[in-house]
């Protein structure tokens, strides 16, 4: 329960996650990108794979691409690679701290769609 609340707080924390708002700093980008990476991963979890709409998958894939392009346009190639590594670690931490992926699906849908609106 607490892990899910932790994840939802990370996903929904303030204006950083508002629709169409790209993160401005490397740490913000790593946090958001890590959350998107986590969402993409849980959509393939056996427990929920068959209940996820293709549009949700596409939305997260698009958010991932947009964040990647933003990193490359805003930061150097080396910094972008470092940010992606931080994002992967962030996704792993979220995954470790989330007890039930089913409870995270709604927050993931909102996060990913925020970068598609």
Backbone Cα Rg of the chain: 13
DSSP class of residue 18?
Answer: S
Supply the pLDDT for residue 108: 94
Bigger pLDDT: 90 or 17? 90
Which pTM was predicted? 0.81
Distance, in Å, from the CA atom of 23 to the CA atom of 33, rounded to the nearest integer, reads 9
Q: Which of 9-18, 32-41, 76-85 has the lowest mean pLDDT?
A: 9-18
Query: Which pLDDT belongs to residue 38?
Result: 96
Give the pLDDT confidence of 60-82 residue by residue, as tens digits. Answer: 999 999 999 999 999 999 999 99
Whole-Å CA distances, 13 to 5, 16, 20, 94: 12, 7, 15, 14
Distance CA 95, CA 78 (A): 26
């Amino acid at each position: 329960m607490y892990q899910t609340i932790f994840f939802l707080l990370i996903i929904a924390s303030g204006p950083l996650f508002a629709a169409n708002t790209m993160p401005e700093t490397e740490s913000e980008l790593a946090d958001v990108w890590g959350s998107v990476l986590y969402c993409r991963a849980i959509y393939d979890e056996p427990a929920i794979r068959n209940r996820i709409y293709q549009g949700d998958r596409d939305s997260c894939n698009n958010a991932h691409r947009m964040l990647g392009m933003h990193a490359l346009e805003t930061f150097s190639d080396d910094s972008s690679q470092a940010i992606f590594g931080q994002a992967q670690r962030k996704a792993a931490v979220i995954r470790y701290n989330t007890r039930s992926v089913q409870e995270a699906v709604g927050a993931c849908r909102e996060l990913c769609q925020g970068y598609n609106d």
